[in-house]
Every structure is written in C-alpha cells, then in structure tokens.
C-alpha cells in the first residue's frame, strides 16, 4: 500500500475521520512518551512530585485508549472500511492497547521512583536505568514516527534496537544479583531497580509490537512471532 | 444483548462463520489453560520434559492468534458486521491478544521450572506457586466460560477473584524478600520464584481483561480502567 492510498476517498468527511484517528493515536503516543520521560526523570532526580504526577496522569492515557477504541468501532460500523482502511483500523486497535500498557509500565517506574526516593542514592544515581529509559523512549518515538510516515524500513530499525534494550536489561539484572549477594542490606533497593528495569524492557517489547503493526498496515503481512531476520525478509518482499 | 442475538442471520453461512470464530477462541483458550497447568506442574514436579514441552508448544498459541486475527479481518471485510456482531469481532481481537500473552507468561513459568529443576528443592515443593497457579488457571477457565455463555455475572465474579490473586502475589513477594535477607545464598532461587509468581499474577490480570470484554460484548459498555465497584454498577444497569 502506498502512503497516498490512505485517506483518499470520495467522501471528504471519511478522509477527515481517518486522518483524525491517526492523529489521535499520535497524540496518545506523545503523552505516553512524556510519561516515560517523567517517570525515569523522577527516578533519576529522586523527584517525588514528578513521580506523583506520572501516577495521577495515567487516567488520561486510559481515557484516550477507550475513546479511540470507540471511534474505531464507530468507523467500522458506519464506513465499513475495506483493504488498507480496514488494516488501518485493526492496526490502531492493536497499537493503542500497547500504548496503554506502556503507560502502565511508566506508572510502575514512577512507583519505584517514589520508593527509591527515600532510600540512600547510589553514586551513579541509577545511571543504568536512565540510559535504558532514554533508549526505550527513543524506540517508542521512532516507532510512532514509522507509524506516522508508514515507513517499513524505519519500523525494522526500531525492531532491531529491541535487542540492545534486552541486553542492557540482562546486564542490569546480572549486576544487581551480584550486588545483592555481596551486600544483603541492598536487597530491597536492588529489587526495586530490577522491577524498574523490567518495566523499561517491556516498553521496548511494546514499541517493537507497534513496529510490527506498521509492517502489517503497509504490507498487509502479519510479522508477529517470527525472527527478526524473517521479519526483514517478509517486510522487504515486493508486493 | 441477548445470547440469542449472536449468530442469527438470514445467511446460514454467516452464522456458521461467527460460531466457528467463537469456537476457535475457546479452543485457543483451552490450549493456553493447558500451557498454564503444564508449566506449573513442571515447576512443582521438577519435570524438565514437561517444561520443554510448554516452551516448544508456544508457537501453536501464536499461530492460533495470527489465524484468528486473519479470520476477524476477513469477516469485517466480507460481512461488514454491525451492532452485536461488530462487538463480537472487536472483543475477539482483544481476547486473543490477552490469550497470547497468557501463553507467553506460561512459557516464562516453564523457563523458571527448568532453572529451578537444578536447584535444591524446598520442603514444600513450591506449594505457594502451585496454589497460585491453580487459582489463575481456574480464573482463566471461568473467564472463558463466561465468554462462551455471555454471562455478565460470572464475568464479574472472575474479576473479583483477581483481588485474591493479587494478595497471594504480595504474600509470596514479602516472604521471599525476608528469605533472601536471612539467607543470601537463596537469592538466585528466590528471584526465580518471584518471577514465576509475577508471571502468574499477570495471568490473573489478563483473565480479568477477558471478563471486561465479555461485559463489553453483552452490554456494549467499556468497563476497563474503572474500579470493581463501578464495573459492577455499570454491568448491572438495565439496558
């Protein structure tokens, strides 16, 4: 499907509905990105107010999910979309589920930030979580960019980055286990760091999912549950 | 919506397509239930072969998700469903995402079973995980039952059970943290138990999600992201 195929209908209003839907997904994505940045910032700075703000803002993400879902059902019922438009709606329904769950993970990180704010801060100020947080936020940003531009190649690049996130996660886990064994007094704090790292790792997975929907949307091919190499081959095949 | 509203169309073939779709979701659910039982059994019995079986069977769950999704898109395109039928399709698309993720969590438990099979076994043989595993498997079973019978009351009961699962999870976490502090040599094993408990807790969440789709399907009301009490009120309102 060419980009130009989306949003070109005889009905101007239908065009506008689809365009509006895409924009709402991007707006929801923007809010979720901010939630990640704020949650990781709160952790790094030990900023309790910012952490609270993330937690109390989660309802906005949830409300956006419910509203966009409703809009999708309305368009399905009214417009009976086919082909590329139908794939767009299905991709939106799936994308917002992942965005909502990214929001939940950001909220979890904010809870960890609250708990860690009271604990003695490590010399590096949780630098490893900050790096990982920065990377998954960028992953999500690029995934949403690929979605906005219907860019399969960009989507594949983001999917690749998830490998890097996974290895950062493994490194944090190994380091923390060693740390816990050496100094059992650090167990509670280490566990919080591990849960935060786990939440960030999940954000990477959800961002990768969004990239898979971009490929489905543009190519009409389902690339979930296959290896990265197979995904590349499938995405790059001529239609 | 009355149960009898679903699958009564002039077109006999359309009826059959919707009925077949519902059956496929239930079949996928049955497989996922078995994955949970096997994963927890493998953990409890220290059965490496069974754990391997769960891990290698996950592709079946994934394949079912992809196939059912395809079928939904086909029905949307061909039949242009409205009202209750449209809600059925949207609910199916969402339900299978949760079922697939339950499958992933069962696979995680199986991985923990593999790792814990080599470790010294505790006297109680991970009884706490067995209890929790049994409960979330039953939750999923009842959620699928509520889905099959379009039973709002049953769906609400399952959503209630999730509170119990959450408190079991909290208890395991507290107990394990104490254990780790008392005996740092148990840290690696305790972490595996914690990850397994976390995976089971997530299965409870996904089962609750399925109940929310049942209420959406029958009542046409979105009950995500609200309290259990609000959910009950909304679900019990007269149409």
Rounded distance between C-alpha atoms, residue B138 and residue B179, angstroms: 29
pLDDT (mean) for B95-111: 97
Read off the pLDDT of residues B25-69 as tens digits, 9 standing for 90 and up. Answer: 999 999 999 999 999 999 999 999 999 999 999 999 999 999 999
Instruction: Give the nearest partner residue to B191 out of A73, A77, A177, using CB atoms.
Output: A177
Q: Which residue of A has its CA nearest to B173?
A: A191
N-to-C CA span, chain B: 9
Rounded distance between C-alpha atoms, residue A225 and residue A227, angstroms: 7
Confidence of residue B239 (pLDDT cuts 50, 70, 90): low
Rounded distance between C-alpha atoms, residue A131 and residue A215, angstroms: 28
pLDDT (mean) for A138-145: 98
Token pair of A184 as six digits? 């059992």
For residue B231, which phi and psi values (nearest 5 degrees)?
-60, -45
Q: State residue A173's pLDDT score.
A: 96
Q: Do residues A98 and A144 touch, judged by C-beta distance below 8 A?
A: no
| Radius of gyration (C-alpha) of chain A in whole angstroms | 20
Q: State residue B8's pLDDT score.
A: 63
Domains present along chain B, CATH in parentheses: 3-236 (1.20.58.220)
Confidence of residue B85 (pLDDT cuts 50, 70, 90): very high
The size of the A-B interface in CB pairs under 8 A is 69
Confidence of residue B6 (pLDDT cuts 50, 70, 90): low
The rounded percent of chain A whose pLDDT value lies above 90 is 86
Tell me the pLDDT of chain A averaged across its residues: 93
Read off the pLDDT of residues B156-182 as tens digits, 9 standing for 90 and up. Answer: 999 999 999 999 999 999 999 999 999
The rounded percent of chain B whose pLDDT value lies above 70 is 96
What number is the ipTM of this complex? Answer: 0.90
Which residues, in sequence order, are CB contacts of A209 under 8 Å at separation 6+? A94, A98, A224
> Is pLDDT above 70 for A7?
no
For residue A2, which phi and psi values (nearest 5 degrees)?
-80, 155
Q: Do residues B25 and B96 touch, judged by C-beta distance below 8 A?
A: yes
Confidence of residue A11 (pLDDT cuts 50, 70, 90): confident
What pTM did the predictor assign?
A: 0.93
> Is pLDDT above 90 for B238?
no
Place of tokens 């807790």: B201
Q: State residue B122's pLDDT score.
A: 81
SS3 state at B105? helix
Which residues, in sequence order, are CB contacts of A165 under 8 Å at separation 6+? A132, A135, A136, A139, A200, A201, A204
Kindly tell me the burial class for residue B10, based on how many C-beta atoms sit within 10 Å of its own C-beta (0-12, 13-18, 19 or more). Answer: exposed
Rounded distance between C-alpha atoms, residue B154 and residue A87, angstroms: 33
Look at A94 and B90 and tell me if their CB atoms are within 8 Å. Answer: no
Min Cα distance B67 → chain A (Å) is 10
Tell me the pLDDT of chain B averaged across its residues: 93
Place of tokens 């100020």: A125
Rounded distance between C-alpha atoms, residue A81 and residue B78, angstroms: 10
Q: State residue A8's pLDDT score.
A: 63
Rounded distance between C-alpha atoms, residue A199 and residue A107, angstroms: 9
| Radius of gyration (C-alpha) of chain B in whole angstroms | 20
CB interface of B with A, residues 28-87, below 8 Å? 59, 62-63, 65-66, 69-70, 72-73, 76-77, 80, 82-83, 86-87
Kindly tell me the burial class for residue B23, based on how many C-beta atoms sit within 10 Å of its own C-beta (0-12, 13-18, 19 or more). Answer: exposed
Closest C-alpha to B142, from B167, B164, B159, B165: B159
Between A37 and A83, the higher pLDDT residue: A37
Instruction: Give the nearest partner residue to B77 out of A65, A86, A222, using CB atoms.
Output: A86
Q: What is the DSSP letter of B122?
A: P
Instruction: Give the nearest partner residue to A76 out of B86, B94, B225, using CB atoms.
Output: B86
Q: State residue B157's pLDDT score.
A: 96
Q: State residue B237's pLDDT score.
A: 86
Rounded distance between C-alpha atoms, residue A35 and residue A200, angstroms: 12
Q: State residue A4's pLDDT score.
A: 47
N-to-C CA span, chain A: 9
Q: State residue A6's pLDDT score.
A: 56
Residues of A in contact with B112 (CB under 8 A): none
Look at A77 and B86 and tell me if their CB atoms are within 8 Å. Answer: yes
Min Cα distance A63 → chain B (Å) is 8
Residues of B in contact with A191 (CB under 8 A): 177
Look at A86 and B65 and tell me if their CB atoms are within 8 Å. Answer: no
The answer, for A227 touching chain B at a CB cutoff of 8 Å, is no
């Amino acid at each position: 499907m060419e980009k130009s195929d989306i949003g070109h209908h005889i009905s101007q209003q239908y065009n506008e509905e689809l365009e509006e839907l895409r924009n709402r997904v991007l707006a929801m994505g923007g809010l979720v990105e901010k939630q990640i940045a704020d949650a990781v910032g709160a952790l790094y700075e030990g900023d309790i107010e910012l952490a609270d703000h993330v937690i109390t803002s989660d309802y906005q993400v949830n409300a956006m999910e419910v509203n966009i879902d409703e809009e999708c059902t309305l368009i399905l019922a009214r417009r009976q979309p086919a082909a590329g438009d139908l794939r767009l709606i299905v991709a939106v329904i799936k994308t917002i589920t992942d965005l909502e769950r990214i929001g939940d993970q950001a909220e979890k990180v904010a809870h960890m930030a609250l708990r860690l704010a009271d604990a003695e801060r490590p010399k590096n100020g949780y630098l490893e979580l900050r790096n990982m947080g920065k990377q998954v936020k960028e992953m999500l940003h690029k995934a949403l960019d690929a979605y906005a531009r219907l860019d399969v190649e960009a989507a594949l690049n983001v999917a690749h980055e998830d490998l890097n996130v996974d290895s950062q996660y493994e490194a944090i886990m190994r380091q923390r286990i060693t740390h816990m064994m050496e100094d059992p007094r650090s167990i509670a704090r280490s566990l919080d760091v591990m849960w935060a790292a786990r939440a960030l790792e999940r954000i990477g997975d959800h961002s990768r999912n969004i990239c898979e929907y971009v490929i489905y949307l543009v190519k009409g091919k389902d690339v979930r549950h296959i290896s990265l190499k197979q995904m590349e081959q499938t995405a790059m095949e001529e239609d």
